[in-house]
Chains A and B, each alone.
Chain A
Amino acid sequence: MSVLIYTDSADGTLTKNAFEAANYGALLAKKEGKTATAIVLGEASDIDKLGAYGITKVLHVNDAALNNFDPQRNAAIIAQAVTKENATTIIFPHDYSGKATAPMLAAKLDAGLVTGAVALPEGNTVRKTVFSGKAFADVEIKTAIKIISVLPNSVDKETGEGSVTVEKFACEIPATRLTVKEVKKASTELSLTEADIVVSAGRGLKGPENWGMIEELATELGAATACSRPVADIGWRPHHEHVGQTGIAIRPNLYIAVGISGAIQHLAGVNGSKTIVVINTDPEAPFFKAADYGIVGDAFEVVPKMIAAVKKLKG
């Protein structure tokens, strides 16, 4: 019996979320006395790294066609691996690929699925976030085959020195009905959901022309940039930067919010962050209640000083 982990790749390497899912699956396999097998679809040059995360075996379908993401085709291939490996639990990263593929596999196998898990299962029960991070639910999976997707940045990693055996997985690859016409990637931009540090700003910045210092602080910290909803709605920043309940939810190690008051809908998208820093001129801004560190002050004075202090630190 085994735990099967779908480790997704993008641009020829496994994603950070994939390694986290691999680690979660390996810890679960260890706990339940099972084998941890990963499955990689498409090209990935760093499969060997999975060993450090506790994976012992990898099924690789090294077909360039699979670089184009089709959750239906992926689910069909993973279902074949489930049979071959006699997998009883299948783990996904809860990212763009897992969100689409895991439910398709669940329906195919008639298996219970818990998405956005934040801890290893206790028996058949898995803890996940609900109400956009405002609460947790303990959900029991009642089917023999169990599917779990792991929320990024939520389970502590345990790495070691293990190595993997990579096996070419001969499987039937169904035809796709999705044609990728164009990829619009901002290659220099750190993916917001994968970033360890996020620097975010809101209406307090007064205009899109003032974002230079936010971008500079982000660059110095190796951070991604984000924004609040009003700022995306009035077109100061692109929609894909909007974090919050109706934008994207993020859980970085460090979230720095500049000139954002902290409406409940914004907090819902960021309250999983490990450390929150708030900079706001208004001492009554609700965001300070959710913050670990705060500065009551003018962003236009504080942010340049932060940039200088970070430069000094990184020397």
Chain B
Amino acid sequence: MKIIVCISKAPDTTSKIAFADGNSKFDENGVQFIVNPYDEWYALVRALELKEANGGSVTVLNVGDASNDAIIRKALAIGADDAVRIDAPTQDALFVAKQIANYVKENNADMVLLGKETIDYNGSQVGGMIAAILDMPYVSLASKLDMNGTTATIEREIEGGVEVVETSTPFVLSAAKGMAEARIPNMRGIMAARTKPLNVVAAIDATNATEIKSFSLPPAKTGCKYVDADNVEQLIDLLHNEAKAI
């Protein structure tokens, strides 16, 4: 079974969010970058579990410039067999999806897994776009994936619950919490990652369908109004009459 896991680079979840160049760019000063948690904790780890159980290979695929190599090595340290970086600056989901779809078309895969969204741009776009371009079934927000031959049994989030769906390879899946438990790379993995193949391939021609013009921060809260623990009724009164929330 050949599995491709798409990974993105994202700022660590504790990063201070600030902007540079007249609020046109994310300020990367002092920011630690990680593999996007949904891609790593859920998609990549489940791919490795499936490989361990059924054999096959796990390739991580990233679209980006050379500054992404550090997080790609991290994915190799966790256990991916090899990595491919499509060399292009990224800005727009459709551009990224076209790059990935082209690679998958040329190299084939039984499944393409990725996280349900990145924690920086929160797009939830690339998975569905890849599936549409490749004309593969798409299962989004999946919390469980089991394989039996070429048949996949998947749990996915729907309105107010989850449902179990079945499809067959090849397919595209976006992973959410519950899919797998995060793994921490061990020393052997980190050593091995240094010599695993990281192939850099050229991007195909594609245009950006969207462009970020500027960033802004939400207005700060004006301050917390404290209510005494002995006067809980006052809180309910404030929520009813002042906040009009209940």
Contact = CB atoms under 8 A, between A and B. Distances in A.
Nearest to A273: B245
A302 B232 contact: yes
Interface string A80-109: 000000000000001111011111111110
A94 B140 CA distance: 13
Q: Is the interface of A mostly helix, strand, loop or mixed?
A: mixed
Contacts of B127: 103
Contact of A106 (B129, B143, B161, B243): B129
Given A96-B140, A181-B164, A139 B213 contact: yes
Interface of B: 11, 13-14, 17, 19, 37-38, 41, 92-94, 97, 116-117, 119-133, 137-141, 143, 153, 155-168, 171, 174, 177-178, 207-218, 221, 224-229, 232-233, 235-240, 243, 245-246
A171 interface: no
Given A72-B138, A182-B163, A186-B160, A102 B17 contact: no
A110 B143 CA distance: 29
Contacts of B116: 99
A72 B159 contact: no
15 contacts: A69-B158, A96-B141, A96-B159, A106-B125, A107-B129, A107-B132, A113-B209, A135-B17, A137-B121, A189-B161, A240-B157, A293-B226, A293-B235, A294-B224, A305-B233
Given A95-B159, A246-B13, A310-B246, 20 more contacts: A103-B124, A103-B128, A104-B131, A104-B138, A106-B132, A112-B92, A113-B209, A125-B213, A129-B122, A131-B120, A136-B217, A140-B213, A179-B167, A180-B163, A182-B164, A183-B163, A184-B161, A191-B159, A254-B239, A309-B232
B122 A116 contact: yes
B159 A178 contact: no
B238 A293 contact: yes
A135 B238 CA distance: 29
Given A129-B122, A245-B119, A277-B239, A100 B138 contact: yes
Interface stretch (A32-40, A156-164, A204-212, A264-272): A264-272
Q: What is the interface residue range for chain A against chain B?
A: 35 or more
A19 interface: no
Contacts of B235: 277, 293, 295, 306, 309
A296 interface: yes
B177 A239 contact: yes
